[in-house]
Amino acid sequence: MKKAKIYIPNKSPMQSGLGKTNKWVLEFETNDPTRNPLMGWESSNDTLSELKLEFSSKELAINYAKKMKIDYELIEPKKRKTIKKSYADNFLV
């Protein structure tokens, strides 16, 4: 079977909050991408590369991959580093 990766997608640049960042995605890797010489588009004959499955937890995604005998790579999310500041810190010299 093909190889897939399981990860949590990053939030979009237009998104300021953390909503919709708790879904795990199982996405298949593309084997043979080809490039269109005229337009420069990337295409492939592999239809599995278009498939993205969403799961509510990491365990569900891993169990699905094991059940379907899919080789997978698990990419753990990096922890966000937040610095707590006060609004008054903007005005201190």
Give per-residue pLDDT as tens, 2-56.
789 999 988 777 877 777 678 999 999 877 777 878 888 877 777 777 789 999 9
pLDDT value of position 53: 93
Enumerate domains of the chain plus CATH numbers.
Answer: 3-9+22-35+43-91 (3.30.160)
Closest CA to 61 of 53, 69, 49, 50: 53
Residue 93, pLDDT > 80, answer no
CA angle in degrees (0–180, nearest 5) for 15-20-26: 120
Average pLDDT over residues 49-77: 92
User: What Cα–Cα distance (Å) separates residue 64 from each residue in 9, 29, 57, 68, 73?
Assistant: 18, 17, 11, 6, 13
